[in-house]
Copies of this chain bind each other. A is one copy, B any other.
Amino acid sequence: MQNRLETLESILDRLRSSIKKNGLKNSKQREEILCVLYKSGTHLSPEEIASEVKIKDKTTSISSVYRILSFLEKENFISALEADKSGRRYEIAAKEHHDHIICLHCGNIIEFVDPEIEERQVKVANKYNTKLISHNMKLFVLCEKCQKIK
C-alpha cells in the first residue's frame, strides 16, 4: 500500500462537505464504499467492492455501487484504472499521482511515478499546441516471478 496523504476521517469530512455543496444527502453506502477503498489499498472492481460492502450490509446493491463510484470519481475521491478487458477497477485518490505497471501474466499492479516522463509529457503536449489536462500510462510487463515461470 502506498503512503496515504490523508487520514480516513479527513477524507470522510471532505466527502460530507462535497455532499452538502452539491445539495445532496448523506448515505451510509457512500461512506462505506470510500472506507472499503481506503482500507483495501489495492485496485478493486465494482463487484469486489460490492461484496466487501455486503459484509456489513447485505442488502447493498450493485447498481448503487456503480452510482456511488461514478459520483466519487467525478468528485476526485477515487480514480479508475482499466488494467484489462475485464472492466474498471478503482483506488482511493488520496495518494500521490502515479501510473501503473501491470503484469500481463498474473495481473499484479505496481504503482510508480517518473518525474522525467511527467515533464516530457507536458513538453510533448506543448509541442503540438495542446494543453495537457491528464494522462494515462500503463507499462505492460512480465513481473519478476512470472519471468521465472515462463
Contact = CB atoms under 8 A, between A and B. Distances in A.
Contacts of A141: 125, 128, 130-133
A128 B116 contact: no
Interface of A: 82, 101, 103-104, 110, 112, 114, 116-117, 120-121, 124-125, 127-144, 147
Instruction: Please name the 3 residue pairs, one residue from A and one from B, whose CB atoms are nearest each other, closest first.
Output: A130-B141, A129-B144, A137-B137
Contacts of A101: 124-125, 128, 130
A137 B134 CA distance: 11
A132 B132 CA distance: 26
B112 A124 contact: yes
Contact of A124 (B114, B131, B133, B140): B114
